[in-house]
Amino acid sequence: MWTKGIILIFTIWVLFTVCPSLQLNDRDFQKRLSNLRDDVKKMFYHAYDGYMKYAYPLDELKPVSCKGADTWGSYSLTLIDALDTLLVLGNVTEYTKVVQLLVDNRKNFDSNINVSVFETNIRIIGGLLSAHLLAHKSGMDLEPGWPCNGPLLRLAEDAARRLLPAFDTNTGMPYGTVNLRNGVPHGETTITCTAGVGTFIVEFGALSRLTGDPIFEKVALRALNALWHHKSSIGLFGNHLNTQNGQWVATDAGIGAAVDSYYEYLVKGAILLQKPELMKMFLEGKKAVDKYLRHEDWYFWASMTRGSVTMPVFQNLEAFWPGLLTLIGDVNSAKRSILNYHKVMKQYGFVPEMYDVYNSEVRSQREGYPLRPEFVESLVYLYRATKDSIYITMGEDVLRAIEHSAKTSCGYASIRDVKDHSLEDRMESFFLAETTKYLYLLFDPDNFLLNVGQTGKVHKTPAGSCVIDAGYVFNTEAHPIDISALNCCTGISLETVGGYVWNSLIDISDPKKKNSLKGVKLSTMIKNRQASEKKKKVHDSDKANVESTSSHSDLIGLHDTDRCTKIDIFIENSQKICKKRNEKRREKVNKKSEKLTEGTVNPSKENIPKIQTQSNLVDILKEHDSMYSKFVRFSQSLLLEPKRFDSQKLLKKVEEDERFKLNETWFNDFAILKCEQPPFIQKIMVGNQVYNEKYP
């Protein structure tokens, strides 16, 4: 009796003393977060407005001189990279304005420029895909069939198709550079970094799921599998290799520059596309990383063949690793590593590009900090997992340091040297795409992007209903990809099926045709049929053009009035003209032969035509030039289209390549990952399980 009374009194005391204090602390904390979000917004818009005023439509802002510069491809890189951040900050008006700006001013990426395959993928394609999938948040009118259709999706697909020629190598591992109009440049080096091979599955996988074209996902997977088969005997990867023969040319193994996002995309690709084999590849690779690269919660560089340390340094880019560890559940290891990195930051105010761990100092020639996001990225994951406010404080340290030392009159400049905080006249696009976005998300734990998948929205499509907005995976440029939305584009409507069956009745009645279609997916058959019908229409149109061409002058007139005539029509017509001229020449030769043979059966040597002299040859050439002068002048003035890359040929090559197959059991080993763990109370009530005190 007395015991119950004491418990009651204690409970009342807690309610009236401790709880109000906790509530007050929580209100103060929420106010602190709100103020920090406002500070991040001011930072973002100061840099964004500076770019739009002084740099757009060029790629980047030069924040010291307040000028613009093209860096990665002359395609308004910063604007596309920052587009989804506008929605994260809640600025629907500016997002809608920018989308319209892009749609009005860019129909495709047809430019005669060489670009980085890696950077174009993560920044341009990733940015467009993310902005496309978030479009429903803006309230703007969506095209029928969204998310399987839309102007930003078409732009992303166009950019990705222009990268496909890079994957046409002996190993399937891509070149590092491609020309957006003409494919792989002549003489392009075959040496590419590891991250440049293994950082495509998130964007290309999403693109295949949204467009229904498997080529993007398949080339990305082939590159990953090929890279996996070229790891060393101890399970490590170098940082640069030859994409044609798979030979390593730089054998230092690490998790930083030139390697980092390869490991990242194994985890995120597994989550996004439900591919357990990718998670298996990561976990197998992590074993080697922990064994050879990990040293007291630092990660050094080592020989990929021997495992011996070659560089005892920490790189700024490695700061993503604690976030990745948190994503797979290894929170304790992530905590220890992030504390190491924060010590370096407190030492200089920023995390330098490279830090000598043994000598506790920045590495010479690597003293800079280009406003990178990786440290803040890991803080976002750790705070989500632990709710420990220490990570908010670390993030605030980053925010205050950038505001204090990097701010200029029109933006934020890269730190040239962390020792004296001198500035470099450059603001990379990832400052607006990643750094400010991750800072905002760190201080906004209820943001829609941080949905853990427990809620979503039903979206109706022509093929039926699907779920969207039920969790996101960030690409390595912090562009969020809606996981559930990728499933909206896999269904086939009843009308499509009915139409296909009706059009295929004759085919089905043909045993040969039926047998040839066996095993082909319905969606593939429909696409093939549509492509065949389209090709037939073009062929019929070409044939009509050829038949209507009665003379050479008629041909020139046709092309003069239609400058967009396809190159295949031009070639076919020119071949027809040449054929007619050859027939006329043969007729002349035959007539001359008849004259030579008249009146004699065995012509003497005198009757045999003499070899043409030099003067005769000049006359013939002049006549030939006169005959074709108009033709030559026209062909020079014609704006010929570049030879189109045959993506279907590449797809067939990828599908027939069986050199880099993975262990078949990997596809099933992680099936349990798809099953949600039931709550502990439910286990006791339903499964009659008993709590184990040893359970962590």
Name 47's Cβ contacts closer than 8 Å, sequence gap at least 6. 61, 63, 411, 412, 427, 431, 432, 436
Answer whether residue 164 shows pLDDT above 80: yes
Q: Which of 203, 277, 353, 482 is the catalytic position?
A: 353
Both structure tokens of 539: 């062929």
Answer whether residue 629 shows pLDDT above 60: no
Active site residue 60: no
169 is in an annotated binding site: no
Give SS3 for 568: helix
Q: Which of 59, 264, 374, 477 is the catalytic position?
A: 374
Among 88, 83, 218, which residue's Cα sits nearest to residue 152? 83
Sorting pLDDT into bands at 50, 70 and 90, what band is 8? low
User: What average pLDDT score do residues 115-126 get?
Assistant: 98
Q: Mark 201-211 as b/e (b = at least 16 C-beta within 10 Å).
A: bbbbbbbbbbb
Sorting pLDDT into bands at 50, 70 and 90, what band is 689? very low
Rounded Cα distance, 166 and 181, in Å: 12
Active site residue 353: yes
Mean pLDDT of all residues belonging to the chain: 81
Answer whether residue 469 shows pLDDT above 90: yes
pTM: 0.75
Rounded Cα distance, 11 and 19, in Å: 11
Rounded Cα distance, 380 and 358, in Å: 29
CB half-sphere exposure, 79, CA atoms < 13 A: 27
Note whether 426 and 413 are within 8 A (CB): yes
Both structure tokens of 55: 């740099």
Please tell me which residue, 659 or 505, carries the higher pLDDT value.
659
pLDDT-wise least confident of 105-119, 315-329, 512-526: 512-526
The percentage of residues in the chain with a pLDDT greater than 90, rounded to a whole number, is 64
Note whether 153 and 135 are within 8 A (CB): no
Both structure tokens of 134: 């978030």
Sorting pLDDT into bands at 50, 70 and 90, what band is 463? confident
Sorting pLDDT into bands at 50, 70 and 90, what band is 517? very low
Active site residue 396: no
pLDDT digits 0-9 by tens, 390-441:
999 999 999 999 999 999 999 999 999 999 999 999 999 999 999 999 999 9
pLDDT digits 0-9 by tens, 265-316:
999 999 999 999 999 999 999 999 999 999 999 999 999 999 999 999 999 9
pLDDT for 596: 43
User: What average pLDDT score do residues 384-389 get?
Assistant: 97
Note whether 40 and 436 are within 8 A (CB): yes
Active site residue 428: no
Q: Where are the alpha helices (DSSP H) in 406-521?
A: 430, 436-442, 494-503, 505-509, 511-516
Neighbours of 144 (CB within 10 A): 9
Q: Which of 168, 260, 277, 482 is the catalytic position?
A: 260
